[in-house]
Amino acid sequence: MKVKQFDHQYSKYYNLLYADKNYDKEVEYVDRLLKQYSPRTNTILEYGSGTGGHGVLLNKLGYKVYGLERSEEMAEVAKSRGLECEIADIVNFSLKKYFDACISLFHVISYINNNDQLIRVFQNTKKHLNKNGLFIFDVWFTPAVLHQVPETRVKRIENDEIHVTRIADPTIDHTANVVGVNYSIIIKDKASGKYSEFAETHNMRHFGIPEIDLIAKQTGFRMIKAEEFLTGEMPGNNTWGVNFILQSTNE
């Protein structure tokens, strides 16, 4: 039986599964963009703050980050690490706070499959930004998805207590521009030798540049740039993750 994305079971193993993720490098990249396009940025709203991997490091650089996270388990971990955050859905939230920038990393926006919900996310973002505020986010890129075609992948990782095997088996919905990543996670307890298993599906929408540009213009943003995440290079057929830098037009 499938469980909802980032249910308590997946959240429990999240940090282990992404132990190889280079948060330092990603935060350096975001910091560089903020300094380049909005050097006075101080306050940051973060969508999908997870266990605080990005937010904690940004705070150490002097920013004041406020995170929104759907998973209660992940939010509790982030709070224990000193990140100010709350449990919320980025489609429907309202804060009595305003920010110089909003960031959404690790393809959080790709989880928004519905057009109406996507527009509400953009509108809500604009509503919570200060004048000329930035909206920085990365998504799966349509040309790369169509060119490379997602395939089944297996990831194995362990610590002193457990060994985790994650099988990612994709299904493709070409009419909706969505890839369903069907995860099967098998956990072996090293002490007892016992196995446990669970499964869930992450539905990931991919986007093209004109598509994001259109939504941006409809919701009061202008596109500053679309580039390959981390490298800043021009996106192409092999660019799986594209980062967008938008600025509120305040019109």
Residue ranges and CATH numbers for the domains of the chain are 2-141+206-248 (3.40.50.150), 145-205 (2.20.25.110)
- The rounded distance, in Å, linking the Cα atoms of 32 and 43 is 15
Mean pLDDT taken over the chain = 93
Is 172:183 a contact under the CB 8 Å cutoff?
A: no
* Phi–psi pair at 133, nearest 5 degrees: -65, 150
Residues 141-198 pLDDT 10s? 999 999 999 999 999 999 999 999 999 999 999 999 999 999 999 999 999 999 999 9
- The predicted-structure confidence for 89-107, as pLDDT tens digits, reads as follows 999 999 999 999 999 999 9
Q: Is 62 a residue whose pLDDT tops 70?
A: yes
CA–CA distance, 148 with 150 (Å, rounded to integer): 6
DSSP 113-151: --HHHHHHHHHHHHHTEEEEEEEEEEEEEHHHHHHH---
Q: What average pLDDT does this structure show over 210-226?
A: 98
CA distance 93 to 88: 6
pTM over 0.75, yes/no: yes
Residues near 89 by beta carbon (within 8 Å), at least 6 away in sequence:
68, 70
Q: Tokens 């457990």 label which residue?
A: 162
Residue 251 confidence (pLDDT): 60
Burial of 136 (0-12, 13-18, 19+ CB in 10 A): buried
Q: Kindly state the tokens that stand for 147.
A: 């060119």
